[in-house]
Amino acid sequence: MSATFHGAFSWLAEIELYTLQNCQPYEQSAATRYLVLTRYVSAAITLALFVFGIRNRELYLTLFSFLLTTDSLVNEILQNVIRAPVPVAGCGGPFGMPSFQVQHGACFVVFILTYGFIWPSSRHGYGLYTAALALWLAVVAYAHVFFNYNTPAQVFVASAVGSLVAGVGQFFIWRYLWPRFPQLLAWRVFRWRNYTDTLCSYTVSDILGNGKTIAPARGAGNAPKFAPPPQTPPGT
């Protein structure tokens, strides 16, 4: 057990080595070996969502992962338009306005939090989850200023941009895509993978209002599945 712990600790030290060599000055401690992971988690979040959405064949989560990819593209465009350098030359970058990791984290957190407002039910909106997500975003923002990855202004702008992308994306899914979920699930590629919607959709007849159902794809067990509606979203 101790050998495993020592190996993991050495691995963390190796990850921090880049920051130590290129992002000075900062005071190293045991905590910094964990804080430095905030630089790498954003990409892992997007990859994990893609894998989770595809594995569970969940339409909403797949759309979420596409939104995070869009957020990455928005960040790339803004960085190359603004062209504001990172605070320490050679520490990431070359541009840091807005911070990629903080923007990505804000998009992830705000998208999850706004989900509970659009589809409220007893299954969603737990205060502990909200506090944990807000704390995570605060830790990411703090770490990027502490390690000199970004300036406070770059972190602040990143939080605003990521929140805006998440809000617009959530609204777009609810307003324009959610009523068309039955049609989307009827697409050949989704029927082939037996995609479902268990997070925010209704039965087909609830949306279309005519009792029609989607014809199942060929092969047993390929009919789209729908969860009972938690409640009617506001504004419908």
Which pLDDT score is estimated for 10?
58
pLDDT of the residue at 71:
94
* Residue 222, domain member (yes or no): no
Q: Which residue in 7, 27, 73 sits closest to 46, CA to CA? A: 73
Q: What is the pLDDT of residue 29?
A: 77
What is the SS3 assignment for 121? Answer: coil
Burial (Cβ within 10 Å: 0-12, 13-18, ≥19) of residue 188: exposed
Contact 203, 177 (CB under 8 A): no
Whether 8 maps to a domain, the answer reads no
Residue 176 within a domain: yes
Cα-Cα end-to-end distance for the chain: 55
Q: What was the pLDDT predicted at 199?
A: 74
Would you give per-residue pLDDT tens digits along the chain (236 residues)? 444 434 444 556 667 777 878 887 777 777 887 888 888 877 777 777 777 777 778 888 888 888 998 999 999 999 999 999 988 888 877 888 999 999 999 999 999 888 877 776 555 556 677 788 889 899 999 999 988 889 999 999 999 999 999 999 999 998 888 888 888 888 887 888 788 777 775 433 344 443 333 333 333 344 444 443 434 444 44
Q: Do the Cβ atoms of 60 and 199 come closer than 8 Å?
A: yes
Cα–Cα nearest to 182, from 213, 220, 221, 227: 213
Q: What is the pLDDT of residue 218?
A: 35
Q: What is the model's pLDDT at position 1?
A: 45
The whole-number pLDDT of residue 6 equals 40
Residue 196 domain-assigned (yes or no): no
Q: What tokens does 36 get? A: 């430095």
Note the pLDDT of residue 90.
Answer: 83
Domain region containing 146: 38-180
pLDDT digits (tens, 9 = 90+) for 20-49: 788 877 777 778 878 888 888 777 777 777
User: Domain tally for the chain?
Assistant: 1
What integer pLDDT is reported at residue 8 of this predicted model? 46
Residue position matching structure tokens 């609830």: 206
